[in-house]
Amino acid sequence: MKKDISRQKKDPRHIALIVEEVCDRLGMTEAREQYRALQSWKDIVGETIAAQTTIERLTQGQLHIRVKNSVWRMELNFRKKELAEKMNAQSGTTAIREIIFR
């Protein structure tokens, strides 16, 4: 008995689209948006600042970032609103409401 393979074939889809669908079905839309926002950190701040910082966590719209020294922490505190806006714009989300540098 042969299986009808033609019914099983579908157009190939990019894995990102499949993961997005699964996240939506599982009610993980917020987690997916947070992940997208976090992925933009290095692109937004650049190599130099990214090397001086470590993302610790993102909870309830608050992004907690560890900074290696106080000079960078002070500079980033002046720019935190701008950085949050850029991260949200690049990721197409509103996942980050506040950035807290430690």
Q: Mean pLDDT per segment of 10 residues, for the chain of length 102 residues?
A: 59 78 76 74 90 90 94 95 91 87 95
Identify the pLDDT of residue 68: 95
CA–CA gap between residue 44 and residue 84 (Å, rounded): 10
Position 4 scores a pLDDT of 56
Distance CA 27, CA 80 (A): 30
- What pLDDT does 64 receive? 95
Q: Residue 81's closest CA among 57, 66, 60, 98?
A: 98
pLDDT of residue 77: 96
- pLDDT of the residue at 39: 79
Give residue 12's pLDDT: 80
pLDDT for 82 equals 95
Are the CB atoms for 83 and 99 separated by under 8 Å?
yes
